[in-house]
């Protein structure tokens, strides 16, 4: 027996595995290319074999009648239309199986089998060009046939592998991952069958936690098919630094063996062997070391299928582990702890490179990028005992899951050694006046990952001495408006490289406004007063979350005003039935130009335009400058606007605001009256009155800095898109959105040199698509371990979904899972359940009875607006959008922080 070489084959349809290069995935498919590489790594044994290339598959496809039409019809199907996908894919699959294999192609396959050993058994395995990729593994989507005996049988199974490219599961997987069916080819790997004593899977990183320093070995007796198919529970070993640190030896009842005449059979394991380990400890450690060698060659963690024959390991497959979240790059090899900015900014979606770099350039603290998301390194803050306590305190107030995740890491005393006391070195108590008291771009404790300065600022109200004067807020807003007006005026005159020079200066002004010491004092004063009221009224009166009512309809909250303002627009439109009918059928973003042609259309257009002039810079995921703004896609607002037209009563906005204001005033009088009846009641009432005044004066401003940021971002974006259009006209890029996949610096270079690497843009697009499928962790270590934290509570009913209480009240209703604001479909009394909300979701809040989100904290936008509107809300409910089914009845216990799914 010998390895087949390409020169020994008769056509281009068959290539020996040893001759396949790493870049030949388009010919050999992902599996074939990886096996070819593996076969040339020193110390790695791969069963001998060959690959039937994609040229053979494409020749077969060319024989199919009407294949282009069939692929067109298949591509138009929705990924969730399972019945249609099943029917259309079956048509193509059966057509492939019915096409005769041409004689010369069959002869090439038979000749390759005979060159190895025509009487041996073979594994015939699909190897699609869109599998075992860094972005998507496609594991288990295509067919494999084991112990195929005889050259003719091998040819038959090769054809079935071709057909499996159009199995229902493979087609659905491609549809969901945005892979064009026409671009995918199918090669087939044919290898000498290995009859192992044991087999299994090796992950060179922990597939659950993501820890790159840990290997996980799964092992069972016989063929690995028993493990992959779920027939047996495997032995599981955890290996770290060359030692087994955990093991579970399973009771293995069944195994799969190869039959002499071909095929496989399931059989029982002898009773005396069932409890025995499939591998010795020495073999486990050797296998883990082999995995590290393979990982080092491919440059990323691997999912490896292995077989043990005697005492030798043979590798039958290695693919990247695509579910791991990438680790931020560091300048050293020390341990690091990173906190997600997206979880603080209520935008955990992947961002494009331009959006990431713009946020980094305008944020108030250094950030690192991983998986299309932003992270802040808090290692030094955790190493310092004083700053550690302050950081954990502010994290706990905002998001208990982040705090618990950090505490979990700190419990491992060897991960972060104690360092110098940072706060002792900088004892200045007026920390809230320093620009570095923020992270993520907005000077609020919502973005709490920024370090000890922000954390120290919450130690007590005395840390931010400031008069309770509405004129302070008015002055800050006026200065912001003047700065933005100057930016709007000056940026219009800038083009080319001059624009980028101007923007560098504009970013400095951007950060100056955000870091205004007075602005941060105002924000901290409002937050501290809120905490004071909740803490002390809870202690003195037994009131839970009293500040929720006391902050209703707080003046000057630009985000809550935005939600109510859309109700006012609905009032204008409601009285014009032809306008309403027209808006129901709108699909064109230029619909505003058509409105004046209708009775009442001019008035309707004026109202919508006025709303867009004030709020059109906002959108879902607005911290990413590449996201389309409402001004760019006004149709996004129409579902919510039309819902208001249908459901709301005239004057609802003013009425809701006044009801909230009166409720807050009545609550204030109530608590003050009760306090005065307590021992030392006058003093307590006086302090409470001061804090109530402070909350009413300053809480609304907390939303303004984000409004300032997004207003500036829209002006930056308009100028940058104008440059992108010039690059399109100069044929430097194909479309304006190509620049979204460049960093700010690369965009500048493109304008300067009139050159863009099209391959870079294409790769960045593919990376972005793969990042979209990843779930970012709240906390990530430099080992790659994702730590999300848990709620450590025993005061909730069994089966309830635990979260963070951010407002008061209890509400029961129908759950509506809404992931796209533009597809909102709500009825009165519905409860909105979504992943996260940023200010752009506010118009929807006035149409629902309650709110449940997967991400959030006490002072994030959704929580603030929920309290402002008196909306019962629980945030930070892990996996809420999957554990709750759309249409289910649920009960939101906002005061206690949990959600019940009602079984009726």
Catalytic residues: 861
How is 708-728 classified by DSSP, letter by letter?
Answer: HHHHHHHHHHHHHHHHHHHHH
Q: What is the dihedral of CA 558, 691, 872, 808, to 10 degrees?
A: 180
How far are the Cα atoms of 194, 268, 315, 876 from residue 308, in angstroms, in the given order?
Answer: 9, 20, 9, 45
Is 35 in contact with 22 (CB distance < 8 Å)? no
CB neighbours (10 Å) of residue 451? 25
Is 400 in contact with 789 (CB distance < 8 Å)? yes
Q: Which of 703, 774, 637, 840 is nearest to 348 (CA)?
A: 774
Is 515 in contact with 435 (CB distance < 8 Å)? yes
Rounded to whole angstroms, the Cα distance separating 858 from 339 reads 17
Q: Which of 582, 342, 297, 543 is nearest to 448 (CA)?
A: 342
3-state secondary structure 158-227: HHHHHHHHHCHHHHHHHHHCCCCHHHCCEEEEEEECCCCCEEEEEECCCCCCCCCCEEEEEEEECCCHHH
Instruction: Label the pairing between strands 235-240 and 243-248.
Output: antiparallel
Q: What are 846's two structure tokens?
A: 């006035």
Rounded to whole angstroms, the Cα distance separating 777 from 883 reads 18
Mention every residue, 6+ apart, whose C-beta is less than 8 A from residue 684: 536, 540, 675, 676, 678
Mention every residue, 6+ apart, whose C-beta is less than 8 A from residue 465: none
Q: What is the DSSP letter of 442?
A: B
Helices of type H across 14-81: 25-38, 54-62, 67-75
Rama region for 207: left / alpha / beta (φ>0; ψ in -120 to 50; rest): alpha
Rounded to whole angstroms, the Cα distance separating 857 from 899 reads 16
Is 705 in contact with 479 (CB distance < 8 Å)? no
Instruction: Label the pairing between strands 368-370 and 779-781.
Output: unpaired
3-state secondary structure 840-866: HHHHHHCCCCEEEECCCCCCCHHHHHH
CB neighbours (10 Å) of residue 461? 19
The DSSP element (H or E) to which 283 belongs, if any, is helix 281-298
Q: What are 542's two structure tokens?
A: 């037994």
Q: What are 61's two structure tokens?
A: 């496809």
CB neighbours (10 Å) of residue 310? 7
Is 552 in contact with 868 (CB distance < 8 Å)? yes
């Amino acid at each position: 027996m010998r390895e087949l070489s390409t020169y020994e084959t008769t056509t281009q349809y068959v290539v020996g595995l040893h001759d396949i290069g790493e870049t030949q995935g388009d010919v050999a498919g992902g599996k074939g290319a990886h096996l070819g590489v593996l076969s040339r790594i020193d110390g790695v044994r791969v069963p001998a074999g060959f690959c039937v290339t994609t040229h053979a598959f494409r020749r077969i496809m060319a024989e199919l009648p009407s294949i282009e039409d069939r692929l067109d019809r298949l591509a138009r199907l929705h990924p969730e239309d399972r019945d249609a996908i099943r029917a259309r894919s079956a048509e193509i699959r059966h057509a492939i199986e019915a096409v005769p294999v041409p004689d010369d192609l069959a002869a090439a396959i038979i000749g390759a089998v005979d060159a190895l050993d025509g009487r041996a058994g073979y594994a015939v395995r699909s190897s699609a060009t869109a599998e075992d990729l860094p972005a998507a593994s496609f594991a288990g989507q295509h067919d494999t046939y084991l112990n195929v005996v005889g050259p003719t049988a091998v040819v038959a199974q090769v054809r079935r592998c071709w057909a499996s490219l159009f199995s229902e599961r493979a087609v659905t997987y491609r549809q969901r991952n945005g892979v064009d069916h026409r671009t995918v080819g199918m090669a087939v790997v044919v290898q000498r069958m290995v009859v192992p004593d044991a087999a299994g899977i090796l992950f060179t990183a922990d597939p659950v936690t993501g820890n790159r320093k840990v290997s996980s070995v799964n092992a069972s007796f016989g063929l690995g098919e028993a493990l992959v198919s779920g027939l047996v529970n495997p032995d599981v070993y955890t290996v770290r630094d060359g030692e087994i640190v955990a093991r579970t030896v399973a009771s293995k009842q069944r195994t799969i063996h190869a039959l002499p005449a071909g095929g496989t059979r399931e059989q029982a394991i002898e009773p005396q062997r069932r409890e025995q380990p499939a591998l010795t400890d020495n073999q486990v450690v050797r296998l883990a070391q082999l995995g590290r060698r393979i990982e080092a060659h491919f440059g990323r963690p691997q999912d490896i299928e292995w077989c043990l024959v005697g005492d030798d390991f043979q590798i039958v497959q290695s693919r990247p582990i695509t579910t791991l979240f990438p680790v931020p790059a560091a300048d050293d090899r020390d341990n690091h702890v990173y906190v997600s900015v997206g979880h603080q900014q209520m935008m955990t979606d992947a961002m494009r490179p331009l959006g990431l770099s713009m946020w980094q350039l305008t944020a108030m603290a250094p950030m690192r990028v991983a998986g299309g998301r932003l992270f802040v390194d808090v290692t030094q803050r955790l190493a310092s005992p004083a700053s550690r306590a302050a950081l954990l305190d502010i994290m706990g107030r905002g998001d208990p899951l982040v705090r618990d995740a950090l505490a979990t890491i700190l419990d491992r005393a060897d991960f972060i050694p104690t360092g110098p006391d940072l706060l002792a070195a900088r004892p200045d108590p007026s920390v809230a006046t320093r620009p570095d008291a923020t992270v993520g771009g907005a000077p609020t404790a919502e973005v709490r990952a920024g370090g000890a300065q922000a954390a120290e600022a919450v130690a007590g109200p005395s840390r931010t001495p400031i008069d309770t004067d509405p004129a302070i807020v008015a002055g800050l807003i006026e200065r912001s408006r003047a700065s933005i007006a100057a930016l709007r005026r000056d940026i219009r005159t800038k083009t080319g490289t001059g624009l980028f020079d101007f923007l560098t200066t504009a970013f400095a002004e951007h950060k100056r406004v955000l870091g205004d010491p007075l602005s941060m004092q105002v924000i901290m004063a409002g937050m501290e007063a809120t905490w004071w009221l909740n803490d002390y009224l809870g202690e003195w009166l037994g009131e839970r979350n009293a500040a929720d009512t006391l902050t209703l309809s707080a003046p000057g909250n630009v985000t809550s005003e935005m939600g109510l303002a859309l109700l006012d627009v609905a009032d204008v439109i409601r009285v014009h039935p032809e306008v309403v009918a027209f808006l129901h059928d709108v699909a064109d973003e230029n619909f505003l130009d058509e409105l004046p042609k209708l009775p009442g259309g001019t008035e309707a257009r004026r109202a919508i335009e006025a709303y867009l002039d004030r709020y059109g810079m906002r959108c879902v995921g607005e911290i990413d400058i590449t996201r389309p703004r409402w001004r760019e896609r006004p149709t996004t607002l129409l579902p919510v606007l039309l819902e208001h037209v249908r459901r709301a009563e005239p004057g609802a906005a003013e009425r809701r605001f006044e009801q909230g204001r009166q409720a807050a005033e009545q609550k204030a009088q109530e608590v003050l009256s009760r306090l005065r009846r307590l021992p030392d009641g006058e003093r307590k009432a006086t302090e409470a009155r001061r804090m109530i005044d402070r909350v009413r004066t300053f809480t609304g401003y907390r939303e303004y800095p984000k409004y300032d940021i997004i207003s500036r971002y829209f002006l930056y974006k308009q100028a940058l898109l104008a440059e992108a259009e010039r690059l399109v006209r100069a044929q430097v890029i194909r479309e304006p959105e190509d620049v979204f996949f460049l960093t700010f610096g690369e965009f500048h270079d493109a304008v300067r040199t009139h050159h863009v690497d099209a391959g870079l843009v294409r790769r960045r697009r593919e990376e972005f698509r793969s990042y979209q499928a990843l779930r970012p962790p709240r906390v990530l270590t430099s080992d790659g371990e994702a730590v999300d934290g848990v709620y450590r509570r025993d005061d909730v009913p069994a089966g309830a979904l635990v979260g963070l209480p951010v407002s008061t009240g209890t509400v029961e209703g129908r759950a509506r899972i809404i992931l796209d604001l533009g597809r909102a479909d709500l009825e009165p009394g519905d409860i909105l359940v979504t992943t996260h909300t940023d200010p752009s979701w506010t118009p929807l809040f006035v149409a629902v009875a309650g709110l449940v989100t997967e991400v959030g904290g006490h002072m994030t936008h959704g929580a603030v607006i929920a309290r402002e509107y008196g909306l019962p809300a629980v945030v930070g409910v892990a996996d809420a959008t999957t554990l709750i089914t759309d249409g289910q009845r649920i009960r939101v216990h906002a005061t206690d922080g949990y959600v019940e799914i009602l079984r009726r």
